[in-house]
Amino acid sequence: MFEKILAAASRFKTEYYRDYPLAKITSFQTGGNADLLLMPNSVEALSALVKACRESDVPYFVIGNGSNLLVSDKGVRGAVLRLSTPMSEIVYLGDGQIRCAAGAPLTALCNFAYKQGLSGLEFAYGIPGSAGGAAYMNAGAYGGEMKDVLTKCTHIAPDGTVGSFSGEALALGYRKSVYSGKDYCITELYLQLTPGNPAEIKAAMDDKMARRTAKQPLEYPSAGSTFKRPEGYFAGALIEECGLKGFAIGGAQVSEKHAGFVINKGGATTDDILALIRHIQETVLRETGVQLQTEVEFIGEV
């Protein structure tokens, strides 16, 4: 089943593991094992692995830091391709333009921009996850979004070929992009930033981090904001209004610090988290008429 995939991994010296516990590399720290976890070290390796998966009829999933994922307790059948340190190069191209590999942590990208004296990414400082994941979902906070600075993404298409989307073709909207729900693998981001005062950039970054620390339950495993912001409302305020702050199912709890966060209070399973999410959605819909949509994505065996 995995012969072609492992041959491609060997050819490109790609690190891989069989029956790997995904709870180790996802921010919720729940879920079962992946049949095969691969950590490609180049675009060429990633392209070869995608082709091998396709030719072998093996389903594959591409993840970054695992910060916006819920993994099934039954695990993930097929291959998981993790973009991380081996694909995390960040390069300043001049004139305010940065090229960033998709596996780079978003916080590392923010720090790189600051050290170059470039402004525009301050909003993203402290958002968990990878740069590729941030582009995939058009991550945003504190009035800023990736669409404000992202100009182009390169990718591996489902057939293993290399391509790119630029400008309006990226279709960046609220927590979505042209890549949403598709089997493309983002490989690099191109960002256009503006020169700024390094001290002011750093102060803005520190302010965002201080606000996150004060208001968000960063001491517990979670996937950040669990729900998208409903038009005209705030998810956390609606959940609190319904009396659900602190409500728990198993080890999963609505954070007492910020009701927009579902956290793993200790020993939670993915089933606990999913049950709590459904309970929140049903309660908020019944009490307020607002349908909450999740930001987190579920992968694995149902």
Residue numbers annotated as active site: 175, 225, 295
Nearest-CA neighbor of 275 among 248, 256, 302, 299? Answer: 248
72 — phi, psi (to 5°)? -55, 140
Strand, helix or coil for residue 231: coil
Q: Which two tokens stand for residue 2?
A: 């995995």
Q: Which two tokens stand for residue 190?
A: 């191109």
Please tell me the distance from the alpha carbon of residue 295 to that of residue 228, in angstroms, as a whole number: 5
Please tell me the distance from the alpha carbon of residue 131 to that of residue 146, in angstroms, as a whole number: 10
In single-letter form, the type of residue at position 281 comes to Q
Bridge partner residues of 297 (DSSP): 69
